[in-house]
Structure 1
Amino acid sequence: MRLIIIGGGFGGLRLARNLSNKPGFDITLIDRFNFHQFQPLFYQVATAGLDASNISFPLRKVFHKSKNVRFKIAVVQKILSEQKKIITNIGEFEYDALVIATGADTNFFGNQNLVDHALPMKSTVEALQLRYKLLQNFEKAAGTKDEQQLQQLMNIVIVGGGPTGVELSGAIADMKKYVLPKDYPELDFGKMKIYLLEGSPKTLAAMSEKSSADSRKYLEHLGVTVLTGALLKDYDGEKISLQNGETIPAKVVIWAAGIKGNVPEGINKELIARGNRIKIDRHCRVVGMEDIYAIGDVAYMEEPAWPNGHPQVAPVAMQMADTIAKNLRSIEMKSSNKALEEFVYNDKGSMATVGRNLAVVDMPKPKLHFRGFFAWMIWMGLHLMLILGVKNRFFVFCNWLYNYFTYDQNLRLIFARPGEEDNTKKQ
């Protein structure tokens, strides 16, 4: 079976590894980057806590011992389902089965001003650009005498109160408390304001009421101004405008308020569900297709426990990959007596870290809630285990130890040529 997997994220990589060296499969893994990105720790790259290489792993290295998996760095331009092939910028590839695992990208909801001025964080490159922008702002603030411009440079606004927004807000608040006053003694960080804007009535809306309440309490304790029910109207690069008429001057606005699936060209528009996700059946097949599958953030499946689709998180993608791997093996072995397995999501819980020694963890079975230092240790342990590569785990652990005992991050470096300091938006 010629199997093509588009996307080397959690789902695509898991599927390729499951079928690696399994007889009967010739696998091509395609991604626009040559490395796997550990998205849950993007915020630590953005706030100088980790190096980008610590959370990235070369995809080719994963399959050094694989005889049937080949990796191609390419951009998929179109899927030709009737001809059973895909068109990329490096040529055409034919398939017997195709798995779309392209993940999701930032959703600016059609607001071009946000596209032009707000900073997203859905890739390692964007996390690095955000780090540079934050550091450059403080460099400018250190040489600014105008009070209005100074306040604009020292205000940081994070839009979106989900896990990404909460974790970023807490990490920047820790920088404000422990790091930045030492780097910039000439600045008064009592003037620095960190705003977290959330359109719904609470932060971490997808988690339990306890986690939502705890996360808000922790953020406010760290000095973050949490504004719930705050709907952003526009951002012109100088100030945020809210629907209620209020404005917030800010040079840095981080957009963490929405994502949309990366749907390749060639998928019928009638199969696109809310959030730009591809409709799939209980076997993860694209509706109406026999040989095209979709998994992870780009896939939309309704099952009894999840009538509005699954959460766009890594465990969903990995569990879908496991289901497809089993079913493809049954198909390849022509096990006609064996019914294909339907996907059922096993929700093992959710978690978010807020800052130093602060986190929240929800477990559905048994129904438990943890918070504070113990939850923070659970969060760190799980993320450490999920990082790809022994060396990466070692360096992340060493960085965390160093940061914890020294109250410092040592990666506050701006890699830009003179005159390019403002060129940190999308490239």
Structure 2
Amino acid sequence: MITVIEHAAISTVDADGTEFRDGHVVIDGEHIVAVGEGTAEVAAGRRVDAGGCLLTPGLVNTHHHLYQWATRGLAADSTLFQWLVELYPIWGRLDARITHAAASAGLARLALTGCTTVADHHYVFPAEGGDQVAALVAATHRIGVRSHIVRGSMDRGASDGGLPPDNLVEDTEAALLGTEHAIDAHHDGAPNARVRIAAGPCSPFSVSERLMTGAAELARRKGVRLHTHLAETLDEETRCLAEFGCTPAEYADKLEWLADDVWLAHTVHLAPAAIRRLGATRTGSAHCPTSNGRLGTGIAPVRDLLDAGSPVGLGVDGAASNESGGLAEELHQSLMQARQRGGPTALTVRQALWMGTMGGARCLGRERELGSLEPGKLADLAIWDLSGLRYAGIEDPVAALVLGAVPPLKLLLVSGETVVADGELKTADESTLASELAAASRRLR
């Protein structure tokens, strides 16, 4: 099926930063086949008049915990470690039905804020919790987006010096076998994959060295990517220095976890040498500004990471530390935090959009298929309606998107298929999702 989108302001986010004031995109099936100025010379197909709108690539969320949509609003005034200690026992009661309801609601919220690809780090596997990964895969197909499901793991309970309770951690070998099973059952390496799997031990304070090295060996043998939390808080740094005699970044480097097949969540507390090392190894960073602000963990050195050559994407993080759960607002928050840290020129509106699209695609290893509007790439795109009062008089549409309120979506496409139209989710009923989530939250609590 041919789809022609016309009369839009277009920010392609390609390598040259190409933009059109009144342009078109032509889609044939799953792929973009033409992008340009003016009206498309195509006679047949569905035509979408996007006058008054901005057309961008679909946004890419590089870090999330979708199961946490069932525990929003708890531990509202806690530090990260306090928050985790309070919520671990609740998460220990997760089952596949709760996870599916939470993930479906979280993915719907992401789609309604322009997100087409989601990296979800799921590291809680209660003994009686059923098939957690399958629940996430089913939610992905239900909402119609793409997912990079990070099969997480924890094997250091409180009795071994870790933070989580013992009943919430796995045996090391069981965690590695569970990760391998998830890869074998669900990973799709095709360019148009809707579901991919990555390996993701949770964090240095909940994972043994054996699990970190074993996960890296497994991922590289299977050809999948690696993800973990790193350098999120000063508490984590203090703990690593006391236990390992080095910073979290130095610990990751020692275990061969700084490489171009790795992206790390948060990376807030990095020494200049660590920033240079992430850049030299092309290790990615998932910047989660709202979550970092919610938990008071600090402001990540985004400008320095970008200058060093590290791919930086944006992440929403778990709903328990970001109750809004929308991705488009992270464009705004990333710019605000970068300028708070580095001054008014630390990040431009287009650099914020780049992080939310191409930067995220690079973190996930999908820059050849996603992240920009170019012929041959997958037709994952967002059409933002800038015609209302909130944007009247703003000449630069990218500035309107990044600096203003999150615009409603005229259209969100994934592989050319409609997920959102005129601000409404088309793949599932929102009231049903809300009812399922409310019931899941009551059961969990």
- In the superposition, the TM-score normalised over structure 2's length comes to 0.25
Greater radius of gyration (CA):
1
